[in-house]
Structure 1
């Protein structure tokens, strides 16, 4: 990374707190948490995607070789996947515990029908943010949809940057820019 944008850390702290308050609002009667501002704080998740995109684009804009691309993918993967895998395995243990304890302990409101082998595999391979048959992002580790989306964005970014940096024809680069814009707007529908 070329340099650290410390001012962005302040925004990350504030906005991550607001996202936490958003998730807590279902469990609290406090006016500090239950108000219109916090009810809409889920929008700050978008801020994290924009912030991440900015930092990644700034830091890795000079990917030009296959080796650079491999290093980028490896670094991104090992930054996110190990914790994702550990948390997913914890959710598997929870599901197994619920299954084996069902005859001995009454477990109410904890049965998620979406937790099955198909959704497990989509979570395992970080495809749970993609609309695929049988894939439900509200399964296993529900919050991992954002990690899935981020990994897919890293993959698309790496390929786009290496293509743009290797291609000297402005028309080809502009085509990639146009496809990125179309994909961004197309995902809204």
Structure 2
């Protein structure tokens, strides 16, 4: 622990947007990039209602790669925050800190998904009308644990491991990565991590170039294909993030947030590659983003050292908003997508509603952060961390 009072240190750790320990320099720009990526996910999902399942019609086409970017950031931040704390920190404390950081919003996301569930009834989700309340409440309770649900619990029909709040699938893999870090990865040398990263890169290339979709979409189903894609998307970015942090490679620039955010936005917004929905060139683009571009973006963001300025203030706002926005927006998307699909809503009518949805998602996320997430983490830290610190 740092020289700060235990209560103050616990509060700081609880309300930080990443895992950085008290007393360490905070990578505000990286937090901000997480928020930019989360907002691009919301836009991607909003426009998806009009794609009709055709990836070539999707606007903000590569927004799904934000998840792979999140995993890269996670590897970097976890290694930065915890690599030098082992020895005075046990595994139990590490797991507890990660639960305090993530679980309150996981619970809220499941409850929020349950609250909007029956508003989505219609042709797009025919299983909803046949789902009794007790079954929905059971799925809600299980969703609060983040345990992956088998297809017998699919009350929507999209084969999601969390059918009330689909994006929670990536948080499950986040926990998998955290456990792998605590048990094995933190002990490995740079050479061993590099070998594992090379193998993981081969797995990612196999999915991107040889998979049926020729992209990196997927990972939310509890079956062989879903787990295959989920692990391919998790392993390389997380390992690359750890290696990037330990290498010390940084690209300092006074406008780091603006440059890195612009690169990220363009990468996630470009149209589908290739003249057919499943052309190999799109898979190559996805792989290039994850293998090469995203580490470059993080290196630029990590090179920023200034603690003040307009860019830092904007980055801090986006960073605070990032996780609540990501984990609470999708129940709104379910409702919106069902409305567009079932009523055949034209874009001229649906677009203003979609814009209002994005604004509402940001407002809900900010309210969730200030009124629930930060107070919950402070409360849990005071009562739990003081016994292990």
Q: TM-score, normalised by structure 2?
A: 0.35
CA gap of 1:70–1:161, structure 2 versus 1, over 3 A, is farther
**8 Å CA contact retained: 1:126, 1:148:** yes
Q: Which moved more, 1:138-147 or 1:62-71?
A: 62-71
CA drift at 1:90 = 3.9
The aligned residue for residue 61 of structure 1 is 83
* Whole-Å separation in 1 of the counterparts to 2:29 and 2:120: 49
2:14 is the counterpart of 1:14? no
> Match of 1:40?
62
Equivalent residue in structure 1 for 2:92, among 63, 66, 70: 70
Q: Quote how far apart the aligned CAs of 1:145 are.
A: 0.7
The CA deviation at 1:125 is 3.1
Shift of 1:138: 5.1
Q: Take 1:58 and 1:106, find their aligned partners in 2: how far apart are those partners?
A: 42
Pairing partner for 1:139 from 147, 150, 163: 163
State the partner residue of 1:23: 45
Distance in 1 (alpha carbons) for counterparts of 2:112 and 2:35: 27
SS in 1 for 2:39: helix
Residues 65 and 162, structure 1, Cα contact 8 Å, conserved in 2: no
The answer to whether the Cα contact below 8 Å between 1:16 and 1:44 also exists between their aligned partners in 2 is yes
Q: For residue 101 of structure 1, what is the aligned residue in structure 2? A: none
Offset at 1:86?
2.8
Corresponding residue pairs, total: 168
- Unpaired segments ≥5 residues, structure 2: 1-19, 154-159, 204-227, 234-389
Contact 2:151/2:161, CA 8 A, preserved across alignment: no
CA distance in 2, matches of 1:83, 1:149: 16
Aligned to 1:146, the other structure's residue is in SS state: helix
Q: Which has the higher contact order (CA 8 A, sep 6+)?
A: 2
Kindly report the root-mean-square deviation, in angstroms, between the aligned alpha carbons of the 2 structures: 4.0
* Aligned CA distance change for structure 1 residues 84 and 141 (closer, same or farther; 3 Å): same
Find the counterpart in structure 2 of residue 157 from structure 1. 181
Residue 77 (structure 1) shift: 0.3
Secondary structure of the equivalent of 1:108?
coil
Q: CA deviation at 1:124?
A: 3.6
Residues 99-124 of structure 1 deviation map (CA, whole Å, 9 limit, x = unaligned)? xxxxxx99424544797688657534
Per the alignment, do residues 126 and 179 of structure 1 end up closer, same or farther by CA in structure 2, a change over 3 Å counting? farther
- Structure 2 CA distance, aligned partners of 1:181 and 1:63? 27
Q: CA deviation at 1:12?
A: 2.4
